[in-house]
Amino acid sequence: MGLQLLFFCFSMRRNWVSLFESDPSQPVSRDLSEAVLNAQSHLIPRLGWFIEGGAALGLNEPTVLNITFALLLSTGSLLVIGLFSRSAAVAGWFMHLCAVKSANLMTYGVDNFTTIGLFYLVFAPLPDRFALDYVRKKSRQPNHCMADVCQRVLQLHICIVYFFTGLTKALGIGWWNGTSLWRSVTSPPYDVIPAHIWATLTPLLPLLGISVWVLEMGYPIFIWLQKTRLIWFLAIIVMHIAIALTMGLYLFAFVMIVLNLAAFGPDVLPFLNKITLRELPAMLQPANQN
């Protein structure tokens, strides 16, 4: 998730100040987005809070925005190296949330799923074996009970997500006859591959369209069955890689793969248990009671 935060910052680096400052020359201002947020709740975090706080301290808007960007970048970096993991997770989640909510008229799936991932990270036991925090204070063990609860909630959440994504697709005729898949990959700005190349695959489009929603709707069932778990997991990962390569949704694919790995990775790929400290290194195993 740290990498995802860094990618988010990288993708926003050129537009960060112009997107969030109250500048009338910007097509969609932060003020408007936050006014729309107010219609839902005044308690939803937003960058306006930082800007008001900064103004009280005599800081102007671009300065506050630059500071928040630097902080977000720092929290992403700290999460990647695993230093001050808990504080970085909380700060990263909060600032990312403020940013995406202050641009809520222009957010898409990736922002939602990054929020979901960061939200779980706030509660998830940290650190893992490669984290600097683990090296710093080796004696502190992650809470395994909490890890199981977090993983189970994330697993169920991901299952609900895939089920409803698949269901809503199955309710439209376009995902049965291939039209929707065709439009997904040829509509701007997702038309990474020219339409005439896709056109050569016309006979396959209905099959591919049906495969997508079958894969998604079947996820909550087949990911729990021992025999189908690995194949379904790999198929979903391949689907996300295909989305990234054919539609240019790299960040979206990345966060979905991260969430899948976090939810079912340790069950499907047992070596992940060693990284996440589910299986304690020999030196940290409890002493034999006999």
Partner 1 sequence: MYGHLFLVLWVCTRNTILLVADRHTALPEWLHQSAKRTVSAIAEAHIRHAGALALLDQVWAAYEHAAGIDTGYGFFAPAVPNASKLVFEITYADGHPEYELPVVSDNAAGLRLSTFLYQLPRVRYEPLRELVMRMVVYSVWQRHPTAKRIRAVVGFVSIPPPTAARDLHVADYQFQYAYDFTFDTD
Cβ-based nearer residue to partner 1, 14 or 137: 14
Minimum Å distance from CB 286 to partner 1? Answer: 27
Q: How far apart are CA 211 and CA 205, in angstroms?
A: 10
Minimum Å distance from CB 89 to partner 1? Answer: 14
Cβ-based nearer residue to partner 1, 179 or 273: 179
Taking the CA atoms of residue 186, residue 191, residue 194 and residue 200 in that order, the dihedral angle to the nearest 10 degrees is -40
Evaluate whether 252 touches 111 at the Cβ level (below 8 Å).
Answer: no
Listing DSSP states for 225-279 in one string gives: SHHHHHHHHHHHHHHHHHHHHHH--HHHHHHHHHHHHHHHHHHHSTTHHHHTTSS
Minimum Å distance from CB 110 to partner 1? Answer: 9
Minimum Å distance from CB 38 to partner 1? Answer: 10
Minimum Å distance from CB 138 to partner 1? Answer: 30
Buried b (16+ CB within 10 A) or exposed e, 15-27: ebbebbbeeeebe
Cβ-based nearer residue to partner 1, 194 or 286: 194
Minimum Å distance from CB 148 to partner 1? Answer: 11
Cβ-based nearer residue to partner 1, 18 or 66: 18
Cβ-based nearer residue to partner 1, 211 or 275: 211
Q: How far apart are CA 65 and CA 170, in angstroms?
A: 43
Q: How far apart are CA 101 and CA 44, in angstroms?
A: 8
Binding residues vs partner 1 (CB under 8 A): 11-12, 14-15, 24-29, 32, 36-37, 40-45, 97, 101, 103, 105-109, 112-116, 119, 149, 153, 156-157, 160-161, 163-165, 167-175, 179-180, 182-184, 186-189, 195-196, 198-200, 202, 205, 213, 248-249
Cβ-based nearer residue to partner 1, 17 or 88: 17
Evaluate whether 92 touches 75 at the Cβ level (below 8 Å).
Answer: yes
Minimum Å distance from CB 45 to partner 1? Answer: 7
- Neighbour tally for 199: CB within 10 Å: 11
Minimum Å distance from CB 59 to partner 1? Answer: 25
Listing DSSP states for 145-208 in one string gives: HHHHHHHHHHHHHHHHHHHHHHHHHHTSTHHHHSHHHHHHHHSTTS--S-HHHHHTTGGGHHHH
* Of the candidates 33, 70, 66, 58, the residue with the CA atom closest to the CA atom of residue 48: 33
Cβ-based nearer residue to partner 1, 27 or 286: 27
Cβ-based nearer residue to partner 1, 143 or 269: 143
Q: How far apart are CA 233 and CA 49, in angstroms?
A: 41
